[in-house]
Structure 1
Amino acid sequence: MTAGLRVLLRISIADGHEAEFEELWQSHAETVRGFPDNHGQQLLRERDEQGSYTVLTDWTDEPSFRAFEQSPEQQAYLRKLWAIRAGGEMRLLEVVHALSPAATAGT
Structure 2
Amino acid sequence: MPQEAFRVMLRMEINKGMEADFERVWVAIGDSVTSHPANLGQWLSRDAENEGVYYIISDWESEERFREFETSRRHLRHRERLHPFRSGGSMTVMHVVSYLPGSSDSGSHREWEEAAL
The TM tier, using the shorter chain, reads 0.7 to 0.9
Q: Tell me which amino acid in the other structure corresponds to 1:78.
A: R
Q: Tell me which amino acid in the other structure corresponds to 1:84.
A: F
Q: Does 1:85 find its partner at 2:80? A: no
TM score, norm. by length of structure 2: 0.81
TM score, norm. by length of structure 1: 0.88
- Structure 1, unmatched stretches of 5+, are none
Higher helix share: 2
Q: Deviations over 1:41-96 (max 9, x none)?
A: 10000122221000000001111111111222211121122222110000001101
Large movers: runs of 4+ above 6 Å:
none
User: When the two structures are aligned, how many residues end up with a matched partner?
Assistant: 105
User: Distance in 2 between the 1:83 and 1:41 partners?
Assistant: 21
What is the match of residue 59 of structure 1? 60
Alignment RMSD, CA only? 1.7
User: Distance in 2 between the 1:99 and 1:20 partners?
Assistant: 34
- Structure 2, unmatched stretches of 5+, are 108-117
How many percent of aligned residue pairs carry the same amino acid?
Answer: 35
**Structure exhibiting the larger radius of gyration computed from Cα positions:** 2
